[in-house]
Structure 1
């Protein structure tokens, strides 16, 4: 059997993702519509007039048949229209895009930190196979994989923020202080 080229492999993987994405969209739509209660009534509030509830049903397309609602939902998602956030009073895409820079920075820092520590521990353990260092590294890495991320994050916040005072408990930078760019970077790096 002839091995696949990288281009063919990537194309196959991309084509496999398309039905998966549509499946996730359909499951998401189904879960929302299987939830108990009337969506329009929940948005309007229990003391809203029936006319207002009906206006909301029409505005959000809830008066249409379910298959038509699904097609509208799929076309909106494909166009990048993820809806409106009532909590933030803005489009959902804007809410997501506001948080992208902080997310990228957190992911970059955590990847750099974990790769550096992992390589250093792995090299150190490989120098002395079956030693206490190797066994401790193996057990520590297995525990790291076994512990849920959210719980490990809370424990690390407790240790490094509250007990040691190295990192702030919340937020990325000092609030209410005007800083030039380099000072802001130093404040975030702290």
Structure 2
């Protein structure tokens, strides 16, 4: 798993590098110190996951994420922050970041990287608890107008609750492949890019 780390605190980056590279399958391809460097390093190395701080000088992590995802919609970006800031969480969700963790939760970083690399979306427990309140409904939604059936609505709800494809498959007695197919259809019908945007969509129209 190839990782690029971007943080304006070099000591934090080096500590993360040391912690992560203890694992034989983890390779830190490069370390950056600001958002502009993050964009450049992503283009150069195309990492499996970009692990990036939010608060940085010049260009912050959210601005860098927006630029990277515009050019590389498939990019896996895991954001780290010291601050549980509501505005940051909302922006990260809407941008399509694959994860948002508190920096001090070091034990969760490697599992989160592996989960993001495998296609899952990861948010720290403190952040998951805040999401429903942050994304208040704006308008009621008639899912039938999008040709979303009841089974697909249930999948959308479970995605919003943070369940993986494997967990959804177990609940519905389906294969993971079938759930992936359902998810692809949902994304297509709602004109969304990924699971994170499905969760945002659900809470905005709940």
With the length of structure 2 as denominator, give the TM-score of the two structures: 0.21
Greater share of residues in strand: 2
Higher-Rg member (1/2): 1
Greater share of residues in helix: 1
Higher relative contact order (Cα pairs below 8 Å, separated by 6+ residues): 2
